[in-house]
Amino acid sequence: MSETLVTGASGTLGRALLPRLVDAGVAVRAASRSPPDEEVEVDAQEWPESTEGSAEWVELDLADGTGIESAVADVDTVVHAASAPTGDTEAVDVRGTERLLDVAASVGVEHVVYVSIVGIDEIPYAYYQHKLTAERAVESSDVPATILRATQFHAFVDEILGTVSRLPVWPLPTRFRVQPVDHREVADALVDCATGEPRGRVPPVGGPEVRTLGELATAYREARGLRRPIVRLPVPGSIASAFREGRATCPDRAVGTTTWEEWLASEYRDKSEPTAAPPAGAPS
C-alpha cells in the first residue's frame, strides 16, 4: 500500500492534515522531532477515534538529518509542512528541505507537496526569503512537486494577539493588511494536492477577507472580553511597508470561508475572561 509522509505533523497544520489524509484513505507516516508519547498531543477534536492507530509516527530532525532515510523509505508522497519560523530557519527550512528532497529523489518518491506562504517573493523578511529558497529547491528537484501557498492562519494571528494581550497596552502595527485563513481549510486543499498528480505551482489559498491587524485585534479583544488599549506601533522599513501594502494577501483567491469573527467565536465562546465586577455603589 502506498504511504504518505507528513513532515511537521505535530504542528498546527500537520495535526489538521493527519486525520484528513486518513479519512481520504491514505496510509500516513507522521514525522516530527518529538515522539507522540512525549510532547506531541494530537487534538482529540482533530483526530477522530476512527483514525486512531492509522498513522505511524517517526522521529525526524531536518536540522541535522536524523531519521530522514527511515522517514522517507517506501513512501510515494511527501507532504512537507515542517518549518522553524522562530528557530534556525536556514538549517530547517532551507538545508532541511534540500536534504529531504535529495533523499526523496534517491529513493524514487513520486510527489512532494510543499506548503508555502503568500507574498514571500515580495516581502524581504528573512524567514520568507528562506521559504522562497526552499520553494526553488522544490521546483528544481528531480521529484515531481506541487507547491501550495497560503495566507496567515487564524491560529497564528490568535497566537500573536495572545502574546500581546498580556501587556498593559497592545502595541501593534495596526495598518498591516492580512487575509487570515482557517488552517483546516488549507489542510483540505493540501489533501487534494497530495492525493492528485503533481501540478507544480497551484493557485494559493487565502482567507475570506483582507483585514487590517487593527481590526483583527479589536475583534479579538471583544471576543475575549478584554479592555486594554490598542496602540498603533509605527514600524519603519520595507518589510512593514510591504505588509501595509497587503503583499501577504491574495484577494483574488479568497477561497477560505471561515471569517476571523467566526474563528474567534468558536475559540472563545466559553472562554472570555470574567469582567471585573463594578465597584459597590457604581451606577448600573
Ligand X SMILES: NC(=O)c1ccc[n+]([C@@H]2O[C@H](COP(=O)([O-])OP(=O)(O)OC[C@H]3O[C@@H](n4cnc5c(N)ncnc54)[C@H](OP(=O)(O)O)[C@@H]3O)[C@@H](O)[C@H]2O)c1
Question: Which range binds ligand X by CB under 6 A, 31-39, 104-112, 241-249, 256-264?
Answer: 31-39
Shortest distance in whole angstroms from residue 140 CB to ligand X: 18
Single residue of 5, 28, 55, 82 touching ligand X by CB under 6 A: 82
Single residue of 28, 94, 113, 117 touching ligand X by CB under 6 A: 117
Single residue of 58, 84, 250, 264 touching ligand X by CB under 6 A: 84
Q: Could you identify the residue written with the cell 516581502?
A: 123
Q: How many other β-carbons are positioned within 10 Å of the β-carbon of residue 123?
A: 21
Q: Is 179 in the site for ligand X (CB under 6 A)?
A: no
Single residue of 21, 58, 92, 100 touching ligand X by CB under 6 A: 92
Q: Is 33 in the site for ligand X (CB under 6 A)?
A: yes
Closer CB to ligand X, residue 203 or residue 225? 203
Q: Is 128 in the site for ligand X (CB under 6 A)?
A: no
Q: Check if the beta carbon of residue 77 is closer than 8 Å to that of residue 29.
A: no
Q: Is 8 in the site for ligand X (CB under 6 A)?
A: yes
Question: Would you call 70 exposed, middle or buried from its count of C-beta atoms within 10 A (0-12, 13-18, 19+)?
Answer: middle
Q: Check if the beta carbon of residue 33 is closer than 8 Å to that of residue 61.
A: yes
Shortest distance in whole angstroms from residue 22 CB to ligand X: 17
d(CA 205, CA 186): 7
Q: Is 34 in the site for ligand X (CB under 6 A)?
A: yes
Which of positions 57-76 make contact with ligand X (CB under 6 A)?
A: 60-63
Binding footprint of ligand X on the chain (CB under 6 A): 7-14, 32-34, 60-63, 81-84, 92, 115, 117, 131, 150, 152-153, 156
